[in-house]
A = this chain, B = another copy of it.
Amino acid sequence: MQEVRVFAPATVANVAVGFDILGFAIQRPGDEIVARRSTAFAGVRITAITGTGTKSLPTEVEHNTAGMAVLRLLEHLGLQHEVGIELEIHKKMPFGSGLGSSAASAAGATVAVNVLLGEPLTRESLLYFTVLGEEVADGSFHADNVAPCLVGGITLIRSNESLDIHHLPVPPSLHVAVVHPEIEILTRDARAVLSDSVSLKTAIRQLGSLASFITALYTNDLPLLSRSLQDHIIEPQRKTLITGFDAVQAAALERGALGCSISGAGPSMFALCDSGYLAQAVGQAMQAAFQQEGVDSQLYVSPINQRGVEVLSTTE
């Protein structure tokens, strides 16, 4: 195979109840990644990065999440001195938005290259290399965006160290509105605002919320899901970074969302809803509330994406 083009979806990490351990994929936006064989060199080269705000993204393989993920994959396969791979990264989602942009590029790249090489590894086996790639972006080894991007659905991570990942069931009517406001939050600022400790009482409340959320997914109990979708730990600390947060959340809940919180490290916000119609209406209400604060935004409405990275085309 000479060339593979894939789509890698945006993801919502944390999901209010599961900081660093839960995530799900949405239908769009997402990145497109092209992997192409080259006989001119061995190893990995990044030949193009396109999209808004991508001037700051490094084309040096060692500093690029997609580049590093593919390099680690080739090393594992013992092919780094035998195979030459060109990568094109077409960013089609906002950068630094809390939608797993760097994870998408890394996941898309490993899937594309795996297909290019005749699929020596399963989709699940690509996770390790993809997480190693994403580590370049923020220096921490965690899979809450990468896992759902790669395999789709709602994923639970028991332990990031051992990549003990599990698929959770998706209630069939579940849809999500994701609103990306034009506010900039750096991931390191989003981390810095968090206290190192949490009161025991708050931790217990969060444990109750998380356990009930998982139970709600397994029993398709959307009223319970709604009662459970509460972030007692992170949201109260991070919401101050998002202009209009309280008004936007209130607008979502008033319009009928099951719950509404911050996507990943923000500033994007997500609302879970029990139909696509409702998700559209909720999303527009959220946009209107941001607009009231003078903040422009983009809205993405979709069911939970159950497929993860998708192969768009291959060239023999």
- Residues of A whose CB lies within 8 Å of any CB of B are 18-22, 156-159, 164, 166, 168, 194-201, 203-212, 214-215, 218, 224, 227-228, 233
Contact B210 A19 (CB under 8 A): no
Contact B208 A21 (CB under 8 A): yes
Chain B residues contacting A21 (CB-CB under 8 Å) are: 204, 207-208, 211
Contact A20 B215 (CB under 8 A): no
Q: How far is the CA of A22 from the CA of B207 in the complex (A)?
A: 10
Most central of A168, A207, A224, A228 by chain B CB within 10 Å:
A207
Beyond A21-B207, A156-B211, A211-B18, whether A199 also contacts B197 by CB under 8 A is yes
Q: How far is the CA of A196 from the CA of B200 in the complex (A)?
A: 5
Q: What are 8 A-B interface contacts by the 8 Å CB criterion?
A: A20-B204, A156-B211, A159-B208, A166-B212, A166-B215, A197-B200, A207-B207, A214-B218
Contact A196 B195 (CB under 8 A): no
Contact A207 B166 (CB under 8 A): no
Contact A206 B203 (CB under 8 A): yes
Q: How far is the CA of A203 from the CA of B194 in the complex (A)?
A: 13
Closest chain B residue, CB of each to CB of A213? B211
Chain B residues contacting A203 (CB-CB under 8 Å) are: 198, 203, 206, 233
Closest chain B residue, CB of each to CB of A168? B215
